[in-house]
Amino acid sequence: MEGSESLSDKLKALGVRTASSQPEAKPDTRARYDISDVVQGSDIETPFGPTFVVETDFPFEAIQGKGLLSHALSLDAMGQWSGYPDLSSQPIERFVFLDTETSGLSGGTGTFIFLVGLGYWHPSGFHLVQLFLRDPAQEPGLLAGLSHFISADQTIVTFNGKSFDIPLLNGRHVMNGFTSPFRDMQHIDLLPLARRLWRNRLPSRALKDLETEILGLARTEQEVPGWMIPELYYEYLRTGDARPLGGVIYHNAQDILSLGLLFNYSADLLAHPLQVSPQQGLDLIAIARLYEEFNRWDVAVELYENGLSQGLPLPFFLDTLRRYANLYRKQQRFDDALQLWMKTAEYHQVDACVEIAKHFEHRQKDPVQALHWVEIAQQYLQEMPASPQRSDLRKDLDHRARRLLQKINPSPHTT
C-alpha cells in the first residue's frame, strides 16, 4: 500500500539494525600459526583426545655446565637427605625431571597446565619430552598423554614441585576424573636442598640463578621471563599465533635440562664435597650440617675443619667453631672441644666462656678456673645491648658465680 511503512522501515526508524542493514563483517586477517609451525613435534592420540608432543635429544657434547654423567653417580647422601634410602640402588635412567608452565603463577582451581616438560638421562645424553596444550578443552588428552612417558616406579625430581607442580597436576587429574600417577611416586624437590646448600653465599636460589652461579650456564636471547609466560599463552589463545610461544618452549626446556644437571651436581657435591673444585668454605659448612643431621660426625668434623681453613665471614666462622666444638663434645673429645671454645672466647662470646666454665667445674673439678671464666663472661656481657636474653644470661652467670664461690669457700656447718 502506497505510503505505508514496512516493518523494516519502522525498525530502522527506531534505530534497530536488521540483518540486511548490518555492516558487512570484516574477515579476520590475522595470520594463524599452529605450534607445529614453531617447533618440530607431532600429535599423539589418547582415548581422551590428542596432545602435541615435542621430543629433543641433547648429546653430552652439546651440553655445557657442571653435572654431566662423567662418572658413576653416588646417591647415598642424596638418599639420606631425601628420606629415600633405596635411592642409590636406582639407575639414573629411572629418574624423571619435571617442570610445568601454567596459566597462572599462584595455583588454585582456576590454574591449568598448558606445558609439561619431562627429562631423562640416558647413556649418550639427555632426552626431553614436552607435552603442549593447544586448547584448554584438550586437557584430558594432555593428562592422558603423560602416561606414555612416566610410570609409578620412577622417581620424580622437581624444583619447588612439592609446593606447586605436583599438587597442581594432582588437582587437574582429579578435576578430569583421572587418577594421578604422581601420588605414589617418590618425589625429590631440589629447592629445599638448594636453600640448605647455598643460602649462606647466594642471595637467590632461584633455578635460573643457580644455573649461572653453580652450573655455569647461560641462556640465549630466546629466553622469556617466567612471569610473562601466562600472558603469552592467553595471547596465543586469543590470536591463534603460536610464534611467541617458541620462547616459552625454550624456557621450559632449559628448566628441565638445568634440573637434570643440578640433581647430578648436588648428588656429587653431597657425596664428595672435598673433591669439588674450587672449594667454597660456606658450602662445606652447609654440607657439614647435613652430615651432622645424618649422625655422620666423622665426616661433619672433617668438613667443618676444611670449611674453617677456607676462610669464613665472622658470623659463620663463630657459628662453625661452636658446631665443631659441640661435635667434639658428643664424641667425648673434651680437650679438642676446649681448644675451640677458647678460640671462640677470643671474640668475646659469652656462650663460649660459659662452656669453658662448665668444663672446668664439672670435668676438671677446678672451681677456681671455672669462676675465672664466669667473671670473663660477665665482662663480655656488658658489651651486649640490653635485651631479655642479656637479662637471663646475667641471672645465670650470677647464680653460677655464687655456686662456685660456695665451692671455693664453703660456709662452716652450724649445729
pLDDT digits over 318-357, tens only? 999 999 999 999 999 999 999 999 999 999 999 999 999 9
CATH number of 35-271: 3.30.420.10
Distances (CA, A) of 25 to 19, 21, 22, 187, 412: 11, 12, 8, 54, 112
Task: Say what the pLDDT of residue 285 is.
Answer: 96
The predicted model gives 250-268 an average pLDDT of 96
* Cβ-Cβ contacts under 8 Å for 223 (sequence gap 6 or more): 247, 250, 251, 254
Pair 67, 121: CB distance under 8 Å: no
pLDDT of residue 213 exceeding 80: yes
Distances (CA, A) of 406 to 176, 365, 368: 76, 14, 11
End-to-end CA distance of the chain: 140
Task: Say what the pLDDT of residue 30 is.
Answer: 54
Across all residues in the chain, what is the average pLDDT? Answer: 90
Q: Which three cell numbers stand for residue 178?
A: 583421572
The predicted model gives 261-287 an average pLDDT of 93
Using DSSP bridges, classify how beta strands 125-132 and 155-158 pair: parallel, antiparallel or unpaired: unpaired
Does the N-terminal peptide bond of residue 91 adopt cis geometry, omega within 30 degrees of 0?
no
Q: Give 70-93 pLDDT, tens digit per residue.
A: 667 899 999 999 999 999 899 999
DSSP state string for 85-120: GGGGGS-GGGEEEEEEEES-SS-STT--EEEEEEEE
Pair 208, 225: CB distance under 8 Å: no
Task: Say what the pLDDT of residue 170 is.
Answer: 96
Q: Give 101-139 pLDDT, tens digit per residue.
A: 999 876 666 789 999 999 999 988 999 999 999 999 999
What pTM value is reported for the model?
0.86
Task: Say what the pLDDT of residue 9 is.
Answer: 54
Task: Say what the pLDDT of residue 5 is.
Answer: 52
pLDDT of residue 14 exceeding 90: no
The larger pLDDT score, comparing residue 105 to residue 286, is at 286
Listed by start position, the domains of the chain span: 35-271
Residue 399: CB atoms within 10 Å = 11
pLDDT of residue 19 exceeding 60: no
Pair 41, 55: CB distance under 8 Å: yes
Q: What's the pLDDT band for 2 if we cut at 50, 70, 90?
A: very low
Give percent above pLDDT 90 in the chain: 81
